[in-house]
Structures are given as C-alpha cells and as structure tokens.
Amino acid sequence: MSPSTVDDFRWLVSGEAAPILYEVQGAIENQINAVRIAKRLRKQISPERSALAMEQAQLRIRAKKKFSCPENMFFTRRGLEQASGKLIAQYKAMRFSGLENVADICCGIGGDLIGLGKRGIRNSSYDETSQGSPQIDSSSLRTVGVDADELTSLFARSNLAASGLAPELCSVEQVDFENFDIGSMDGIHIDPDRRMKDRTVRGNRFSPSLQSIFERVSADCNLAIKVAPATPRADYFPDDLQREWIGDQRECKQQILWSGPFSKLAGHRTATHIGRDGRVSQISIKEDELDQNVAMFDSVHEFVYEPHAAVLAAGMTDVIARQYGLRRFSAPIIYLTGDQEIDDPLLSRFQVLQILPMSLRQTVKILKSLDVGLVEVKKRGIDNVTAEQYGRMKLSGPNKATLILTRLGKTRIVIIAKRKGNDLQVPDTA
C-alpha cells in the first residue's frame, strides 16, 4: 500500500472525516443521486477520499443488518461479509468468559474481537453456555486482535475505540499467526482466511490451514476455529472436538470447531439458533450416537416443519425429528410432519390447509377461494422451472399463504399452508 493511500485511510478514520461520512450516509439514505453526492464531495476533498467516503457510507448502511450501531464503525467489503454479527459474537464470547488472556486471530474488522473484549459483562441470555466459569473482574481481562493486513488492523483499532474498549484492555497487533506469541493465551478464537474466492471448505485451503492451527495450539488452550458451514470433519481433528453450526433468522452463518478444557460438549455436534433477542435454542448429539435411519410417515399430517439451516448443515434433521416425534414423508426430502404444534426456533412451522397433486390451475382456484393475494413459494425435490411458474401466479386478495412444492414418496404435490404467525382464516367451504 502506497504512503498516499495509507494517508487517505488514516484520514478516513480521523475526526476530520467523521462529519463528511455522516453527511454522505444521510444523503444515500435519503436516496439522493450518487453523482450529485460525488460532485458535492469533490468540492471539499480529493477524488480518492471522495470514493472512500462514498464506499464507507454504503458499507455502514449495509452493516445495520449485522450491527446495532455501525454509524461509527469502519468496514471493508470483505471484512463486513465475513464478520460475525453482534449477537453471534456475544454468544461465542461467553464461552471465553472465564479466561483472562484471549486472542482473536485473523480478527478482520473486529466483529468477534469486540464481543471477546466485552466478555466480562454478564448477559443472562448466554448464562447457559458459561455455567461453571469462574467469576472474574472484567478489568483484569486482556484481549488482543491479531491481523496481518495493515488496513484491516487500522479499522479494527478504530472499531474497538468506537465500541468503548480501552486499548490497555483490548488492542490489535499487526502480525501473522505464525509469528504471534500464543504461549500466554488462555483462549484463542481464529477465523482463518480463505485462499480462494469461492466458498472454501477444505481445511488446507484456509490460511493458516486447519491442520497447522491444531498442531500449533496446545491441547490445554481453549480454541474456537470459525470455518464455513460446509467444512467437513478431517482425520486430524481432535477426538474431543465439538462442531457447532450457528445461525440466526433463517440462515446458517458459520461452523465453529471448539476444543480445550472448557468444552462442555466434547465429541458432540450442535445446531444453534440465536434469536433477535439473543435467546439461544440448541440441539446436540454425540458424534458416535448419530443415527442415519430415517423415520417415515406415508402421508402429510396437520403440520409441516422445515428444519433451520443450522440443523440442515449439521446433518441433524432426523435428530430433531426424533426429539419431537416427527417424521419425513419423503426419504430424500428434509420436510418433517406431525400432528403436534411445536414452537422451536430450530423448526419453521406450517399448518397444512390443503394437499393436492401438482396442478397450477387447481392451485390458483383454491387460492382465490381463500382470498390469497400473496404467496411464499418453497420447494424441495421440484425443479426451478415449475417453482417459477407458481411464483408468477396472478392473484388478488388480502391474505397470504405458503405453497410447499415437494413430493409425497415419488408423487409431486402442492401443500397449501400458512406459516406460523399468519392469521389467514380458512372458510368452512374450503
């Protein structure tokens, strides 16, 4: 990075740039034309700094999906994409709550680092993950972020300051993993970089590689490695490893490989959902108790359930089915069914209104009788062309319904349903 570029980025995180960034962000949110904004900026600052301000304002707006107060934070496009959101970062940080010296390696813009830096602040939503951890004075905690990239390190430091974390308690070092002294660390969180632009899942395609991390970090250090959800288990993984898939809303965001003395679910796989209020819902099973047998019904019952993406990524569809007495109605398809009304964030619930063979004309007729004007189309085991046809139906009415296009055995069917929370009223004649 050239000296002039470094100067521009240092200007970006300075107090001088702050009012310009707020002004640009406000203009973008008010849908003022980008060309007009750029022309106005170039009367005040250089074209290079104008471009940086425009990009940063846009990233801050996008960051609202992950962070509660991103107005004073700084992001790179890649850093924002890979950063853990606030609630997931807080959840993971509570696993480190009893540790005094913690490092966040490959810390990026600092999403997880901020959570780790505030780990001494007890949050009742996460108490279940920290039972047995010693109570310590948060002022004695030391947290260090580690990243080899100059720009990322600069942004991470600025984000720590914006989060109110004092540098003597939480700092950033610009150094790579191999040259960072991990000997004094009680716990390590590491988000290894991806060497390829696609979604890397192979352990040797991470940098540092997963094998080199396990070889360098001692067994008595508490370790969390953040990897892609699809990353498979490798022969060199420790036997006591816990693999946890974490999601929020309807997405699986990351897989964490946990090892070390504080691991309470050694040898387990876990699917975790974190709600908007921070509430945690989990299901776990020992790896050696995972049963591959699929329980089946030969019909669709009153409710259809779709496992959360974290459950699917963890390969635990039939685990959660057995927990609640549910079954599949088509072996290759992950939809579950049963007569019980289950309220669990790990399962999306749909009440079945009608089941019919796949017929677009008949489906439209029934939807019109229900005054449905808006449909949510879901599919499993059905081709995209067919699903798109159902998505283009011309309907009008105040109600909303869900169409589940799937298979009952080998037969293609349409399930007309209402998602949990939908107050669609079914006429007696339907």
pLDDT tens-digit map of 358-415:
999 999 999 999 999 999 999 999 999 999 999 999 999 999 999 999 999 889 999 9
Residue 139: predicted pLDDT: 62
Give percent above pLDDT 90 in the chain.
Answer: 80
Task: Please state, in angstroms and rounded to a whole number, the distance separating the CA atoms of residues 137 and 378.
Answer: 50
3-state secondary structure of 120: coil
With residue 327 as reference, give the H or E element that holds it: strand 327-328
- CATH number, domain 79-288: 3.40.50.150
Partners of 352 in beta bridges: 417
- Average pLDDT on 219-227 reads 94
User: Could you give the angle at the alpha carbon of 217 between the alpha carbons of 212 and 218, nearest 5°?
Assistant: 130
Buried b or exposed e, range 175-186, using 16+ CB within 10 angstroms:
eebeebebeebb
Contact 294/318 with Cβ under 8 angstroms?
yes
- Average pLDDT on 347-355 reads 97
Residue 204: predicted pLDDT: 66
Does pLDDT of 59 surpass 90?
A: yes
Partners of 356 in beta bridges: 414
- Average pLDDT on 346-368 reads 96
Partners of 189 in beta bridges: 104, 224
pLDDT tens-digit map of 123-162:
434 333 333 344 445 567 899 999 999 999 999 999 999 9
pLDDT class for 292, splitting at 50, 70, 90?
confident
Contact 136/96 with Cβ under 8 angstroms?
no
Count CA within 13 A, CB hemisphere, residue 35. 0
Residue 4: predicted pLDDT: 84
Does pLDDT of 428 surpass 90?
A: no
What average pLDDT does the structure give for the chain?
90
Contact 310/247 with Cβ under 8 angstroms?
yes
Task: Please state, in angstroms and rounded to a whole number, the distance separating the CA atoms of residues 400 and 418.
Answer: 8
